Amino acid sequence: MNEDKNLVLDASPELGEIVIAPEVIEIIIGIAASKVDGVYGMRGTFANSVTELLGRAAHGKGVYLTIDETGIKVDLYSYMTYGVSVPKVAMEIQERVKQQVLFMTDVQLTEVNVHVVAVVPEKVELPDIEELFGNDEEENE
């Protein structure tokens, strides 16, 4: 990985420096955002889907960091649960992400942009056909 993409948090001549990779911040953001009530999930890529099929969790999916001279900007792509207030959930995501990143890494985010990709309806159980119509084979015999 390229050294200049890493974030240097603290550098002291006695102890050395503390360096955090951007992937670590992406994972923190992904977990914090997915724990908000009303978030169904995060949008991932094909590689994330393959990783999850192999049994590993892809916590950083749907999170994209931009690091420039003004600071760290985050773009989150999420699915919301049907029936929630989208603006309230989006604001809760912004607050929770900023708090968790600041608490865990002492890094201040300049922007947290929430992109709602879709609203996912709740799953409706399909009725059991045998319960609805009975077992016709028993009646025919």
- Contact between 30 and 48 (Cβ < 8 Å): no
pTM for the model stands at 0.74
Res 2: pLDDT? 40
| H helix runs in the chain, sequence order | 22-34, 46-53, 86-105, 129-133, 136-140
Structure token pair of residue 22: 């951007």
Q: In whole angstroms, give the CA distance from residue 52 to residue 50.
A: 5
Whether residue 17 contacts residue 10, with contact meaning beta carbons closer than 8 Å, is answered with yes
Helix (H, G, I), strand (E, B) or coil at 34: helix
pLDDT (tens, 9 = 90+) of the chain, 141 residues, equals 344 578 877 777 788 888 899 999 999 999 999 999 999 888 765 444 445 445 555 566 789 999 888 999 999 999 999 999 999 999 999 999 999 999 999 999 999 999 999 998 877 677 777 776 766 555 555
Diameter of the chain measured on Cα atoms: 89
DSSP state of 36: S
In the chain, the domains with their CATH numbers are: 22-120 (3.30.70.1350)
Residue 66, beta-bridge partner list? 73
Q: Are strands 71-81 and 63-68 parallel, antiparallel or unpaired?
A: antiparallel
Q: Is the dihedral of CA 2, 78, 47, 52 positive or negative?
A: positive
Number of Cβ within a 10 Å radius of residue 60: 21
